[in-house]
């Protein structure tokens, strides 16, 4: 390998590391909320960065189209993971029914959340996958309808429609929880 090729490769890897530092936290937050599984979120984001390194042909710099591209890859990887887990869920439910129920370990006071926060998280998880993804992108990631459209492949009108109904479902679930 020539000296110029090594220099270009080194520069690209340094730029890649800068991209990872820039996007890692928001992508982990997004994937974690979609999957409700921190370990799964790490796997999804790692896979997305590997795809970026191997498939991205443009400048290796945060911003512009890279943001939408990365969110879309994370979105697609998360959907694939949910589908894969759904295919296995029947087997897991059968196996769980055959065994005694497991008690979750007590992780201490630092991991406890309020009843209201737990109810809100449960209401979010009760939404259909697409609704949950759109709510997370809009509310938590503060993406515009246009950005959400680019990430999910939906039209902006469809994004608005789904978000409207998802937010109504969330509000109703939270009202039921407040009156209970």
Task: Give per-residue pLDDT as tens, 74-121.
Answer: 999 999 998 888 877 767 676 666 665 555 556 566 556 677 778 888
Rounded CA-CA distance 111/151 in Å is 32
Same domain, residue pair 38 and 121: no
Nearest alpha carbon to residue 71 among 53, 54, 49: 49
166 pLDDT higher than 90: yes
Which region holds residue 153: left if phi is over 0, alpha if psi is between -120 and 50, else beta? left
pLDDT on residue 25:
96
pTM: 0.67
Same domain, residue pair 73 and 121: no
Asked if the structure places residue 107 within a domain, the reply is: no
Domain boundary among the residues 47, 74, 102 is at 102
| Domain limits for position 127 | 112-180
pLDDT on residue 59:
87
In this predicted model, which residue has the larger pLDDT, 5 or 111? 5
Rounded CA-CA distance 44/22 in Å is 16
Same domain, residue pair 6 and 39: yes
Rounded CA-CA distance 133/33 in Å is 8
Average pLDDT, integer, range 43-72: 92
Rounded CA-CA distance 74/59 in Å is 19
pLDDT on residue 92:
66
Rounded CA-CA distance 153/49 in Å is 20
1 pLDDT higher than 80: no
Asked if the structure places residue 68 within a domain, the reply is: yes
Domain boundary among the residues 102, 131, 149 is at 102
Same domain, residue pair 60 and 147: no
Same domain, residue pair 95 and 125: no
Average pLDDT, integer, range 8-37: 92
Domain boundary among the residues 102, 137, 163 is at 102
Asked if the structure places residue 87 within a domain, the reply is: yes
């Amino acid at each position: 390998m020539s000296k110029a090729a090594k220099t270009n490769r080194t520069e690209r890897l340094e730029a890649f590391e800068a991209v990872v530092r820039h996007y890692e936290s928001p992508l982990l937050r997004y994937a974690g909320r979609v999957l409700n599984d921190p370990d799964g979120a790490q796997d999804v984001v790692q896979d997305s960065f590997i795809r970026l390194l191997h498939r991205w042909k443009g400048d290796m710099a945060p911003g512009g189209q890279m943001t939408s591209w990365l969110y879309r890859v994370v979105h697609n990887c998360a959907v694939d993971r949910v589908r894969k887990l759904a295919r296995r869920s029947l087997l897991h439910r059968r196996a769980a029914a055959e065994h005694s129920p497991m008690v979750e370990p007590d992780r201490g006071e630092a991991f406890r959340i309020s009843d209201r926060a737990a109810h809100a998280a449960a209401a979010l998880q009760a939404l259909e996958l697409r609704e949950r993804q759109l709510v997370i992108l809009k509310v938590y990631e503060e993406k515009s309808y246009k950005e959400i459209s680019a990430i999910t492949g939906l039209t902006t009108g469809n994004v608005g429609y789904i978000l409207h109904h998802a937010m109504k479902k969330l509000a109703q679930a939270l009202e039921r929880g407040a009156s209970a």
